[in-house]
Structure 1
């Protein structure tokens, strides 16, 4: 589906998401028109879903990151849907993952400090529907983080 030129374009977009299509074309060894057509084709195919700003939440005063491993009451027919609908409404929740295994859901959330985390946990997390158990993991350090895809 992708040829070498498409991969070069994608590598350039990952390396510098703010680059113009002309800059990407030059770096990928293509004409601007060819590069733009290929980018449009990959967008239409859903390969490129968008370009976004990555905001450093530490710079905005959030110092605490927590992963919550949650077990739901699966005897409730809409346990996952009800839980996800309610969890999506918590602004500090950055990610919600459903899992197979002993843990049903993992939530990643941020807070300004421990007092703020405590408030979020008591007033919003503990009130989420169908929760039977929660295990909190406080992040200490991010050893590796990479959103780039090997191309």
Structure 2
């Protein structure tokens, strides 16, 4: 699986993903070519799946975050298959999770303000197929949001 060097590389990438390969290699006591080979091995093994820009949606004027807990009409065998693609089409939906239990799906969405949220809810959410019940939870504070893994 992972050796100590792989774990050191991953910890450093999590801490500063924008760090250049030569700088990271120097920090780890490696050559840039050896670090590049290790990174390629981690990519090929599926451990590293690319890099992405993390955009602060609040800096773009979105001030409201809502979690919608949805129960689907499970009498329809295609409920999940039709609900999920329709929910993906709503640009303000940032995340879709499915569950086993009373709640079937959780949608995490953002809006500029409550008026915008109301518009999204009335014009888009309520038209999603096969919903039997929906509960909205307005986000107040993020207490812990650790994206790094304990490597």
Tell me, in whole angstroms, the C-alpha distance in 2 between the residues paired with 1:8 and 1:14.
10
Give the aligned partner of residue 147 of structure 2: 147
Q: Secondary structure at the match of 1:126?
A: helix
Give the aligned partner of residue 130 of structure 1: 130
Give the aligned partner of residue 23 of structure 1: 23
Tell me, in whole angstroms, the C-alpha distance in 2 between the residues paired with 1:104 and 1:28.
45
Tell me, in whole angstroms, the C-alpha distance in 1 between the residues paired with 2:149 and 2:100.
24
Give the aligned partner of residue 38 of structure 1: 38
Q: Secondary structure at the match of 1:58?
A: helix
Tell me, in whole angstroms, the C-alpha distance in 2 between the residues paired with 1:65 and 1:19.
31
Q: Secondary structure at the match of 2:145?
A: coil
Tell me, in whole angstroms, the C-alpha distance in 2 between the residues paired with 1:44 and 1:76.
40
Deviation string, structure 1 residues 1-36 (Cα, Å, up to 9, x no partner): 110111111011101111111122122222211110
Deviation string, structure 1 residues 97-137 (Cα, Å, up to 9, x no partner): 00111100000000000000000001100100110100000
Q: Secondary structure at the match of 1:108?
A: strand
Tell me, in whole angstroms, the C-alpha distance in 1 between the residues paired with 2:95 and 2:41.
29
Tell me, in whole angstroms, the C-alpha distance in 2 between the residues paired with 1:29 and 1:86.
49
Give the aligned partner of residue 120 of structure 2: 120
TM-score (norm 1): 0.97
CA RMSD in angstroms comes to 0.8
TM-score (norm 2): 0.97
Unaligned runs of 5+ in 1: none
Tell me, in whole angstroms, the C-alpha distance in 2 between the residues paired with 1:26 and 1:79.
53
1:89 aligned onto 2:89: yes
